[in-house]
């Protein structure tokens, strides 16, 4: 059994959505459903998810931006290693 979800989408999101759907030969609804499915699986499978809220932090958007912060830290560490090697 499926459910119906009605969304009001701003023009700046809707127009690129329609264009992408046309380019892929799909409907906007099909495309959005795939994106939502992927996003929900990613959120469920995120290994950091269990730690969100477990630690105090002075970074208010840590829960939403943790992948970005981890990536930045890894990039800095790699750059530091390269700089030490020179």
- Dump pLDDT digits (tens) for 2-61: 899 899 999 999 999 999 999 999 999 999 999 988 888 766 666 777 776 777 778 777
Is residue 20 assigned to a domain?
yes
CA end-to-end span of the chain? 61
| Residues 62 and 84 occupy one common structural domain | yes
0.75 exceeded by the pTM?
no
Is residue 2 assigned to a domain?
no
How many structural domains compose the chain? Answer: 2
Is residue 33 assigned to a domain?
yes
Boundaries of domain holding 25:
8-45
Residue 63 token pair: 């829960």
Cα–Cα distances in angstroms (integers) from residue 50 to residues 26, 54, 70, in the given order: 35, 8, 16
Euclidean distance between CA atoms 71 and 48, whole angstroms: 13
Is residue 56 assigned to a domain?
yes
| Residues 66 and 79 occupy one common structural domain | yes
């Amino acid at each position: 059994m499926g459910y119906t979800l009605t969304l009001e989408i701003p023009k700046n999101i809707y127009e690129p959505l329609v264009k992408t759907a046309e380019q892929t030969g799909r409907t906007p609804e099909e495309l959005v459903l795939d994106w939502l499915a992927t996003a929900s699986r990613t959120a469920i499978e995120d290994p950091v998810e269990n730690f969100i809220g477990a630690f105090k932090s002075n970074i208010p958007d840590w829960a939403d931006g943790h992948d970005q912060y981890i990536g930045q830290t890894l990039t800095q560490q790699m750059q530091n290693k390269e700089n030490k090697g020179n």
